[in-house]
């Protein structure tokens, strides 16, 4: 061993264990007396946990209520002042409203039928319709 190691070993030898803190001594003595020394801080943890659970519960109920019908966005409203009088210039692009259908009816029930037909088609999803038998016939 060299001089540096000797010095190091000398310093290690001089080290002594640190004595127990007064708090530790107190808890150990309380433990030896049979009382739950750590009861106080643990109650705190449980209380915090219970509080968190309660807060979560309240939050869940609040969120559920917020997601309910009362919070639902109001549908876009059509213009209020649509033609009351028979309109002669409606098209299939006009919205399917009472005024537009009434106008079609004023022309004739057949016009109303035709407009309903157009609306039915324009409101349906885009064409994704396979016709295999027909394609086969064409080939």
Partner 1 sequence: MKRLVMICVMLAAAAMPVSIAAAQTDWRGPKELGDNAALKYWLAFGTLTDLPEADIKLVRNWNGSGPDPAAAHVAQWCETSLALLHEAVKCKWCNWGLFNEGPGTALPHLSKMRELAYRACFRARYRAATGDGNGAVEDILAVFALSRHCNAEPSEIPYLVRLATQRIATKAAADTLKRLNPEQLRKLAERLDSLPQCCSLRDAFLDESENRFGWEANEIKRGGIKAAEEFRRSDPREEEAGKAHSKEPITEEDAARYIHDLEVAQRFWTLIADMSELPPAEFAARSQALEEKMKKECTTLPELFDNEVSVVRNNGARADASFAMLKAAIAVVLNGPDSLKSIQDPFGDGPFEYTAVGTGFQLKSKFVFDGKPVELTVPGT
Binding site for partner 1 (CB under 8 A): 36, 39, 42-43, 46-47, 49-50, 53-54, 56-57, 60-61, 64-65, 67-69, 75, 77-89, 95-99, 101-102, 105-106, 108-109, 112-113, 116-121, 123-129, 131-134
Of 26 and 62, which CB lies nearer to partner 1 in the complex structure? 62
The secondary structure of 13-61 as a DSSP string is HH--PPPPPHHHHHHHHHHHTT--TTHHHHHHHHHHHHHHHHHHHHHHH
Full DSSP string of 100-135: HHHHHHHH-HHHHHHHHHHHHHHHSPPP----HHHH
CA distance 56 to 16: 50
- Looking at the Cβ atoms of 30 and 105, the one nearer to partner 1 is 105
Q: How far is the CB of 16 from partner 1 (least distance, A)?
A: 39
State which residue, 19 or 126, has the beta carbon closest to partner 1.
Answer: 126
Query: Cβ 48 to partner 1, closest distance in Å?
Result: 11
Q: Identify the CA nearest to 58 among candidates 48, 70, 47, 66.
A: 66
The CB-of-90 to partner 1 minimum distance in angstroms stands at: 9
Nearer Cβ to partner 1 (20/43): 43
C-alpha span between 58 and 51 (Å, rounded): 10
Min dist. Cβ of residue 21 to partner 1 (A): 25
């Amino acid at each position: 061993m060299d001089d540096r190691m000797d010095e190091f070993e000398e310093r290690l030898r001089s080290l002594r264990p640190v004595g127990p803190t007064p708090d530790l001594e107190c808890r150990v003595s309380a433990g030896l007396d049979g009382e739950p020394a750590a009861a106080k801080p643990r109650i705190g943890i449980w209380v915090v946990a219970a509080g968190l659970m309660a807060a979560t519960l309240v939050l869940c109920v609040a969120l559920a209520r917020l997601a309910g019908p009362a919070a639902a966005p109001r549908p876009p409203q059509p213009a209020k002042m649509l033609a009351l009088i028979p309109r002669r210039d409606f098209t299939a692009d006009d919205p399917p409203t009472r005024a537009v259908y009434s106008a079609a009816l004023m022309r004739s029930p057949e016009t109303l039928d035709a407009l309903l037909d157009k609306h039915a088609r324009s409101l349906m999803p885009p064409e994704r319709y396979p016709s295999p038998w027909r394609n086969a016939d064409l080939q």
